[in-house]
Structure 1
Amino acid sequence: MTLSSRLALAMVLLAVVTACIVGAFTYYFLAAAAAPHGVAAAIGHAVLTGGAAAVLLALVLAAGLAQSLSGPLLRITGAATALARGELMPMQGVSEIAVLADVFTQLRARQALLEHTVQSISDAVLVIDADGRIVIANAAAKRLLGVDLSIDIQSTPFRYLLSDGVTRAPASSSPLMRALRGEDIDDMEFVVEARATGVRENVAASARPLRDEAGVLCGAVAVVRNVTEQKRAYQALIDSEQMAQSIVDSALDAFVQTDDSCVILDWSPHAEALMGWTRAEAIGVGVEELIFPEPQRAVHRQWVDRFLSEASADATGGRYETALRHKDGHEFFAEVSLTALRRGDRFIVNAFVRDITAKRAAEEQLFQAQKMDSVGQLTGGIAHDFNNMLTVITGTIEILAEGVQDNPALAGIVKMIDDAANRAAQLTANLLAFARKQPLRPLKTDVNALVEEVVKLLLPTLGRQIEIETVFGEPGWPALVDRSQLSSALVNLAINGRDAMPDGGRLVLRTNNVSFDPHEAAANGLGAGDYVVIEVADTGAGIPAAIRGRIFEPFFSTKQFGTGSGLGLSMVFGFAKQSAGNIVVFSEEGKGATFRIYLPKAHNGPSPQMAAAGDEEMHGGNETILCVEDDDFVRDLVTVRLRSLGYTVISAPNAAEALALVNAGTAFDLLFTDIVMPGNMNGRQLAEKVAGLRRPLRVLYTSGNTFGVLSSNGGVGEGVLLLAKPYRKADLARMVRLSLDRPIDHVGDPIPMPYSVLADVEGFLKENPPKG
């Protein structure tokens, strides 16, 4: 019989017994009321006996039923208690208990699934009851917060801080306690710090209150997530963005960001400074319309389209140069460096823009300087070889002139040849000047006085239709310059100015003093320092911009063929450069031209004295001269000339043979050597080796082009004597005699001769006039 049948039977029996007892007593009372006393007593006795028997029977049946019901109920209670402990007790017997067992099994399975789910959650899960006791804490909660079911929420091994990481968080402000007060908490951030180690973790918690069916608060649940790594990654992202923005803002180049349609998305402060447009004006505008000149817009768009079509999924870059337009309308050259970043199916284009206008100008100047230097090397080499030939030609002409001096017809022909040789010599001198290879003798020079002398020479040359004006800066600094070369340069510039004014005009020669800092000096192709400036300005037709960059090139001329060699300005250019200065030109068509020569200021001190030229009478001697010359024709001619002057000549074709003669003990009074020679030794090196073998040594150098052997700055060098090719017999005789006669010390250096200090005293008084 099932437990429910037993309970039903017990209820029926209880009802029957109760009905019998009630019926018996009812009958007793009714019979007693109607019957005599004796009969009533008998009836009552019978009724009581039957009722007692019925009660006894009911008690027996109830005891049996209770015993049959108590066993299953005890087993159900035990199973429920075991289920509360997480255990499952098997139940057998009546079918209802088996059903309950199935229900308990299902409940235990669901409870295990729920516990497993909570434990497997990577975030910490905490549940507290109404008294704040922890009733659920998963493994993540134990790891992160150090809590379990044995402690309450306020007894953890952690300190709790607010999200600033400094302010201590009271227990009442924790998400669970606030949820226990009925609040809903979402993503509240705070910091937990282990008391033992001091290790901190950033966490974010969400909490909700728990209510029973009646709506009464019975606890709270919280989910706590460790966001330390996310915070670090987010902070790293912020730092990276800030760093990138800082780089963009502090970069010397302008930064412009556009989409693949060339619409501006970002515009840095340097972009504002470079191109004039503010950020507010630039954002959202097409970059072509904003900063590109009209002819460059289509070119830029084509370039960007090709650039993006070749871009890969990774960042890719490119660079090009273009003309850009400032807000005020002026154009400048810029170098644009592009980087394309793919964003989905579109591109973001980052561009750094650098103004290269000055760089381009510097590159053009460098290219021009390299071109001029290359041409200078070529012309210098040609002039050197040509001067050797001219030395032979001029020497031969002099011999011919001596032989035909009694024949006027032949003497006239020789004179024509001599004039042509002189013109050729001047041509090579101009070539060497351009090539910066001519030997200079820089002296402390009063530029104002020299200009006055040049003007006196120019007055009859330029003609009456040219008005000459001089403007001198006061006080005028002395310049360190070769006087004869400066005079030639000024004459060349003046003649060019006259030719630019065929109908007359005004020529102004102006002097001034300037001091340049490194930036100003670089802009003028100079080093920092003090300079004397000489301007030659005309009011002629001016120089077209198309040819302005070529006017200093050798053989370039705008004059008609046959009216100019094209070497005048190139000679001036080379002379100024070799003098550690420069020449610049300012000109516009129809507004004349101004040439400005910069020369270094001479330091205070006595002016070096040039060797006296002496008279034109040739003096010879009987000394012995060691002549070293690699050109056979020149060597033969010089040998003949020196012997005709009475000298004994020992000749050598190169430095090696000359040194062998010295080592062999050959006696001589003067070493007369060419500077540029084939082999491992030049003339300067030969002189140094010979000076080491015998002292004192007298040396006279000769060359058609020194190639900087004597001095790195193109000068001859203090105390050095040089006979430049081509030279005449009179020049040869004078320089040889000077080399032999000037006093030298025990090592061969010249002994300074007394000189007049009058010029230096006058110069000092001019610079420092007496007061009062």
Structure 2
Amino acid sequence: MKKLFDRLFGSLVFKIGIAIVIVETILLGLFGGYYVQYFGAEIDRRIAEQISAPGRLIQDEQLKISVISDPKQLELLLGPHLREAMAIGFDGTIYHAMDPMLIGSDIASVPDFPKDRLSADLRSQVLFTTDGPDGRNMVSITPLFSLNANQPFMFAYFKVSTLGLEQSQRQMQSVLLIGSVLCILMTSGLIFLFMQQTVLRRLITAAQFVSEIQFGKLSARLKPAGRDEIGALERGLNTMAESLERRTNQHQIAQEALRDSEERFRDFTLSSADWYWEMGPDLKIAFASYKFYQLIEELNGSPQGQSFDKLGLKAETDHSWNSLIKRLESHLAFQNFEFSWMSRDGQKHFGRINGVPVFDLDGSFKGYRGTGSDVTSQHRATEEQHALQRQLATSQKLEAVGQMAGGVAHEFNNCLAGILSFAEVARAKIDDPERVKEYLDHVISLGERATSVADQLLMFSRRRIDQPTVVQVDTAITEMEKLLITLLEHRIELQIWANDAPLYTCVDPTQLSACILNLAINARDAMPDGGTLQISCYGATIPPADERSPDDEDDIFPKAAAGDYVVVTVQDTGTGIPADILGNIFEPFFSTKEPGKGTGLGLSIVHSWVEESNGFIDVESVEGEGTTFSIYLPRSEAGKVKASALQEIDYFPGNGERVLIVDDEQSLRTTAKIILEDAGFDALVARSAEEALQIITESQKTDRIDVILTDVVMSGLSGPQLAIEAQRQYPDLAVVFMSGYPARTRKEMEKMLGDYIFVKKPFRPAQLQKAIHEALAHKTERQRL
């Protein structure tokens, strides 16, 4: 008997039967509980509907209120479980009641009556449950109104016991429980008998067959008894036996093939251009292919038993070896780790290795396997590509300057014509000082206009210092109108729309002009048959990301963009941009123009400058209709616009300080000497840095030089080299640099010159005098320190 029970409890059939019984119990319990709750809720609903019906009928005058005093009628309406029924006046007097003893009394005398439910604000019928000594009850209170009354004059009150509902629920639970137990017992018995006959017997036969295979009887076979899953298992075991029999016969052949494969792999490693390596769990190289041996032995002897950081290879970044060692110690894969080495002939070579960790079947770490390759040719090709990209960038600058050439030449001719004309007239009116002053003011104005045109050329050649200042955007756009009309030709109509109120932003004004000019040139090229170019500006406020409405487009407004902006739009009626390439237009060297008509750097430069100015750019385009570029720049306040030093103070007198002017241009030396001497300075001139150093040395014996005013770019020693040499010998010297062709950016100038005073050519007298004063102030401050 014990053996029978052990066999029963240990069999798979018994376990499956127990699992089914548990599942059936859970399902029946869930469904039974659900139906008990469902029928209980249904009875509650019906009682609620039944108890609320008399109040509604009395309220609708379909039933007289006196029915409350008739117990028999109420029992017909509400059933045998009715406990209380009353008609209560507004003042709390009971006018009708199922209990005649309560008529005429006050509700305060009724125990456990919910007096707080009776309120003049009650407008509709209310239902609620209460707990009393005789169990749970359901209560209905209905307000009764007279014609056109705002307050109820009487309340209909009914109270019904839910005792019948609870009895019905208990009976239902008992029936469901008994039915569930009987169903589980019958189902479990049937499942057990069925599994015993159809599953267990066949599994025992299969187990005996596996035992025969285990003891080497590979010719044994099963007889499948059906097409079910166990039949599939039996057929699979037969197939396994056949496979084992075949593999036993093929084992010797496989061993011979393995030896051939190992020899083949060895030949491949010897002839391959790549390297193969393997390291043990101690992270030291255990195997390396012939090419890897050749490389390492040339540098640091045999790689066998060494770690990567000891092989004499140099990582391309400072922390590369440390990061690689950390990955190796963490047993993580790595890819494309680059290093370099110097060959015996002095050439620098580059290599790249990859590796993956190797684990045993039990999860223990066994080491690494990987490959490597010589990527020197790829590095050199990349360097050549970068050189070509720099050449293309230069071509783009030249192309942009070429686009401006016609308009710039036109502007310069106009300025020069005016300067010459006013100069001739001034010479003719030399005896009339007022007229001469008026003409010279015109000459100065035209000179400043020519300087602005030169600034645009310098900006396009990236030879101008970025000087962010508060710019009135609408004015900047209007001042470009003449140059734009020249560039756009007569086939394109130019429309400029300005905001009613002035708008300001803090950017480099010539960079802003260049940005608009670049977009205008692109628009012109997109309208070969003519069209309309519209440039406008307006103000916009972007709320924070968490305050935006669902209508705001996230792809237009970045999440970090919030605040007040000036928006400059450049809209054309050209061919438009296809939707499939719209996302690539800001990529460097991406262009849809024909070969030779564009390098694809214009929009990339515009995009980079807008981002550097803490703004962003949006583009909308409809193919065949046109394109609109919207540039969002942070808005500034007009009150923060600072007047230039020239407007604040127009004269900076000297007090006999000695200034050495160094420039290889005679006219500039003469002009600067006159300006400084008229202001009270003692000016000396030198044609070169070498002559300046000689003058400085000689002056130390008599009257010392206070300030050196030097050009940046000169033949021979440059201005910075002169300053370094002079201050090395005489540290107290102050230096002012001047140039009309400065470095690309202010950061580059600071890196080249350090803490410097700089004045841009062409300069006004007050600008030059102020620069000398600032240099003298710096000199005094250094002497105090």
TM-score (norm 1): 0.35
Higher percent of residues as helix: 2
Larger relative CO (CA 8 A, sep 6+): 1 or 2?
A: 1
Q: Which one has the largest radius of gyration?
A: 1
TM-score (norm 2): 0.35
